[in-house]
A = this chain, B = another copy of it.
């Protein structure tokens, strides 16, 4: 393993000079710099970033901790990567350890200190686990769970969004509206809140909203949604369907088709999140509620940058407004 010391010796300079060259610091003469760079190249030297981090306390990396990589968070991560492109920092994705094993969680949290900042989806975490992180690294929380007030937190306006989605179905003539991925358990933060909005809209319109109309989901995958919708259909009929996520909606639309129902003629469908891929979800786009295009990544980054530049700024709690994007699954 070739170290900075090896380079220094081979170039006949001190390690400090090598360090200065490699970090583009001034106060290095051109001949010296050239000689160092040549040796670096000859020896195939690569800086040990771990050592640099230990000493300099900086990694130029931002961690994003998510429950899964594909789908909603994958899209967000790609957007963030793009926004960070010219900033000299870059995004690193880590998944929350699936098992809530205490020791694993501890390491999971410790790992975030390997980065300059962290964006954390709170799906699987407890409040005090997250609270311990605050003094160690700038953090922005993402997601629907209640979290300590002293941490920056960005979430979607779930209840209003779900209400808008359901109102859209009503305004397009749906009279019996089911929900896929709802929950009546307040601990299921996202599922619960979106169900509340669904219910509000139905109550206001004088439509039914009994438990029979709600199917629960755990992972919100197309495959799981596909199965759940079949069961829901076996139980009851409906001409409108509000899905808690676009990913689930994808499986639902497929299941409706399998059952010989036409979308939107027989059943209208609205999703939630407004994924980029929903715009072209066959055959002609999925109607969905979500933030304005690009709004989410922009706000996340703004909050993080504020926190990084002023660790003592007062905590910020942002609720992102949502809009309806009408496409082919509603009339």
CB nearest to A251 among chain B residues: B280
Q: For the complex formed, measure the closest distance between the CB of A25 and the CB atoms of chain B, giving whole angstroms.
A: 14
Inter-chain contacts of A99 with B (CB < 8 A): 85
Question: Number of A residues whose C-beta is below 8 Å from B?
Answer: 64
Inter-chain contacts of A98 with B (CB < 8 A): 81-82, 85
- The answer to whether A93 touches B69, judged by C-beta atoms less than 8 angstroms apart, is yes
Cβ-neighbour of A250 out of B1, B94, B277 (below 8 A): B277
- The answer to whether B95 touches A46, judged by C-beta atoms less than 8 angstroms apart, is no
Give the complex CA separation of A183 and B249 in angstroms. Answer: 34
- The answer to whether B90 touches A95, judged by C-beta atoms less than 8 angstroms apart, is yes
Verify if A266 is at the interface (C-beta below 8 Å from B): no
Cβ-neighbour of A136 out of B46, B85, B257 (below 8 A): B46
- The answer to whether A47 touches B110, judged by C-beta atoms less than 8 angstroms apart, is yes
Cβ-neighbour of A257 out of B82, B223, B258, B283 (below 8 A): B283
Name A's B-contacting residues (CB within 8 A): 1, 44, 46-51, 53-54, 61, 68-71, 73-75, 77-78, 81-82, 85, 90-95, 97-99, 106-107, 109-111, 113-114, 132, 136, 221-223, 225-226, 247, 250-251, 253-254, 257-258, 263, 276-277, 279-286
Some 5 contacts from A to B, beta carbons below 8 A apart, are: A70-B77, A70-B78, A92-B93, A250-B281, A281-B281
